[in-house]
Structure formats: C-alpha cells, structure tokens
Amino acid sequence: MTYVICEPCITVKDKSCVDVCPVDCIKGTDDDKMLYIDPATCIDCGACVAACPVNAIYNETEVPEQWTEYTKINADYFNK
C-alpha cells in the first residue's frame, strides 16, 4: 500500500509533505510540475496528509475517482 499525490499539488509544490515524511520517499525536482510518492518506500504512516495545504494526498484505497490515474503517475515517476 502507499499514499498518492494527486492533481492539487500541481503548481503548489510547497514541499510541506517532504518535511514530515519519516522515510524521505516524496520526491520531485524544480522541473517537475508536482511531487510524487515512491510506493516502494512509503510506509503508510499518513503523516503527509495533514501537512498538505491543498489536500492533495490520499491513501491509494481512497483516491478520489477523478484522480485515480495519479496512483500510476506517482509510481511511474520512480520507474523512469
């Protein structure tokens, strides 16, 4: 299981979630349009959810229907 960053992160990218992640699995460069969670490293702690000012982060079982493709988008970022 993992958590997933969805569309609201795009352009916001304030990295509040990065600071609270205990396993440092939230990545993204200045050139990326959003940040991404590495599903292979995420320990499902949920700490990032409350840190996000725009409610962009969801447990993969609770990703809103309009953003379901973001589960794959997050995983694909780490399979480049």
Residues lying near ligand SF4 in the complex (CB under 6 A):
3, 5, 9, 12-17, 20-21, 23, 25-26, 35, 37, 42-48, 51-52, 54, 56-57
Q: Which CB sits closer to ligand SF4, 42 or 63?
A: 42
Q: Are 42 and 60 in contact (CB under 8 A)?
A: no
Whether the CB-CB separation of 44 and 69 falls below 8 Å is answered with no
Shortest Cβ 49–ligand SF4 spacing (Å): 7
Residue 26, both tokens: 């939230």
Minimum CB distance to ligand SF4, residue 80 (Å): 19
